[in-house]
Homo-oligomer: A and B are copies of this chain.
């Protein structure tokens, strides 16, 4: 199979990105639309943000290893930007590390399963409006960059 030199093969996904892909596939089956690597505010970058059929906002942080988790000092900042917060990890992850009051998803590059539902703390209306607009613009700008050859990186 010959490669098209004008379209280089994408770089292989990192472990955390594979987890994110499986999470997004599963959440799509649940009726959620997902984006990755959204910046809700300076200094924070969400691995997966999902928007449900009734406007629910979920955030899923994907951790590929214990070190990846223990080095994350920002995750509590994400709680202010979603109705529910989940961790997503691989099957070998030591899940006892994770705070009990957060949701838990087991995932690999192909799919995922929600193991523990996250408690709901609903966003205030003004914040929901802001985060929905950020989600919308993030998704549309990346979609346009993929669809329009002049804008692609």
Contacts and interface: CB of A to CB of B under 8 A. Distances in A.
B144 A146 contact: no
Contacts of A25: 148, 150-151
Contact of A137 (B21, B51, B144, B148): B51
A21 B6 CA distance: 21
Nearest to A21: B148
A51 B133 contact: yes
A136 interface: yes
Nearest to A2: B2
Interface size class of A (residues with CB under 8 A): 35 or more
A1 B146 CA distance: 21
A141 interface: yes
Interface in A1-26: 1-7, 21, 24-25
A144 B34 contact: yes
A44 interface: no
A33 B140 contact: yes
Nearest to A110: B150
A119 interface: no
Nearest to A133: B55
A58 B25 CA distance: 31
B3 A51 contact: no
12 contacts: A2-B4, A24-B148, A25-B148, A25-B150, A34-B140, A51-B133, A53-B137, A55-B129, A129-B129, A136-B136, A139-B139, A146-B146
